Amino acid sequence: MEIKGNIMVLAEVRSGNVHSVTYEMIAWGRRLAEKTDVLVDCLVLGTGEGDFEELIRGGADRVLVVSPGMPDSRLATPAASLLVSAIRGERPDIVIAPATTYGRTIMPIAAARLGTGLTADCTDLDIDPKDSLLMQTRPAIGGNIMATIKTPRTRPQMATVRPRSIKPLPADTGRRGEVVRKDYSLEGEWQERFISFIRSEEGDANLESAEIVLTGGKGIKSRDNFKQLAELAGLMGAGLGATRDAVEAGWAPFSCQVGLTGKTVAPKVYIAAGVSGKIQHLAGMITSDYIVAINEDPKAQIFKVADLGIIGDAPMAVQELTRAFKSHSEKGEGA
């Protein structure tokens, strides 16, 4: 297969540091590059510091560092302007960025300026062997449908990609690549000034990095039952998740929502209790290592993605698990 430019991966820079989600994007880039025989360029905007060799060990062929004149990586206009300059200069065929607040802000600005298409929130990327076009797949409205979108006429083909939709590649210490400093300049002025950033102490971030996630859906049945589920999560050291319907019922705050409109998680063990498994929910948890589903309906779609499927009452499962955990930790404390 042949495509006419490299694959550009936009690094996520937070507070002057390259964020780990960048390695996931590089992994996507590598997967596409293997099919097309082009280079994976990782574009770093807004910081001149960092272990760029690490990005090469993570799968990049070149790291393009655009640092001078960059006032603050958080400001959309200058970041998007540099991204546009870099795309014009490098002429990549494909540009991907994480579907984070950063990527979701600057990618649309850049796509509009370049007059090209952008697909949001992809969960899968591939190259069509027939026409060498990027196949951008994302969940679509309506329950259980996925849509594959192409950008046939304009270049580059741009996509934001859900965090945790792929595992980063293991660091390859033997990989060789280049770190190239580029001095693309900022076009025009910008009217934004950064005032402050306040890191939240809240447990949100914990949900995304938790090794166990326990999620409740409508099948939990009541607010009280959901409270018990939350206590169980505390007992297990698990992050607490909720479906959108559970959030809408007022059982859990929006910050717990897992899925297309909520958070994406990929824990070692994901436990879904009373969750039907609509595609919008699956979009937020399908890359978990091991999935346990508890549902009274043996035909529930969640079982199709489960490793362990427990057919039964979700509130009862919460009770039994709580009992099991309590007796385990009592035994454990003595040992």
Partner 1 sequence: MDIVVLIKQVPSTANTRMDPETGVMIRDASETVLNPLDEHAITEAARIKGRFPGSTVTAITMGPPAARRVLLEACARGADRGILLSHKAFGGSDTLATSRVLAATIRKTGGFDLILAGEKATDGETGQTGPMTAAFLNLPVVTFVNRLDVEGDSIVARRIVEEGEEEVLVRLPALVTVVRDINNPPLPTVRQYVIAKKIIFPVWGPQDIGMEEADAGLKGSATRVAKIFSPRLSRNTTYMEAGNEAKMAAAATAILEVLKGRDLMKKGEGHGN
> What does the binding site for ligand FAD look like in residue numbers (CB under 6 A)?
141, 143, 217-219, 221, 243-246, 257-262, 274-276, 278, 280-281, 284, 295-297, 300, 313-314
Q: Identify the three-state secondary structure at position 44.
A: strand
What are the residues whose beta carbons fall under 8 Å from the beta carbon of 186, sequence distance 6 or more? Answer: 69, 70, 78, 81, 82, 85
Burial track 282-320 (b if 16+ CB lie within 10 A, e otherwise): bbbbbbbeebbbbbeeeebbbbebbeebbeebbbebbee
Rounded to the nearest angstrom, the gap between the alpha carbon of residue 26 and the centroid of all alpha carbons in its chain is 13
Omega cis (within 30) before 156: yes
What are the residues whose beta carbons fall under 8 Å from the beta carbon of 301, sequence distance 6 or more? Answer: 144, 276, 277, 278, 282
- Interface with partner 1 (CB under 8 A), residue from 118, 229, 233, 246: 118
Closest approach of partner 1 to the CB of residue 44, in Å:
18
What is the distance between the alpha carbons of residues 317 and 229, in angstroms, rounded to a whole number? 10
Q: Which is nearer to partner 1, 174 or 298 (CB)?
A: 298
What track of x and - describes contact with partner 1 for positions 262 through 301 (by CB under 8 A)?
------xx-x-------x--x------xxxx-x---x--x
Confirm or reject binding of residue 149 to partner 1 (CB under 8 A).
yes
What is the distance between the alpha carbons of residues 295 and 173, in angstroms, rounded to a whole number? 45
Could you tell me which stretch among 31-39, 58-66, 219-227, 323-331 binds partner 1 (CB under 8 A)? 323-331
Could you tell me which stretch among 30-38, 134-142, 167-175, 178-186 binds partner 1 (CB under 8 A)? 134-142
Confirm or reject binding of residue 187 to partner 1 (CB under 8 A).
no
Confirm or reject binding of residue 169 to partner 1 (CB under 8 A).
no
* Nearest alpha-carbon partner for 221 in 237, 243, 254: 243
Q: Which is nearer to ligand FAD, 138 or 244 (CB)?
A: 244
What is the distance between the alpha carbons of residues 168 and 82, in angstroms, rounded to a whole number? 26
Q: Which is nearer to ligand FAD, 81 or 257 (CB)?
A: 257
Closest approach of ligand FAD to the CB of residue 131, in Å:
29
Confirm or reject binding of residue 194 to partner 1 (CB under 8 A).
yes
- Interface with partner 1 (CB under 8 A), residue from 31, 35, 71, 113: 113
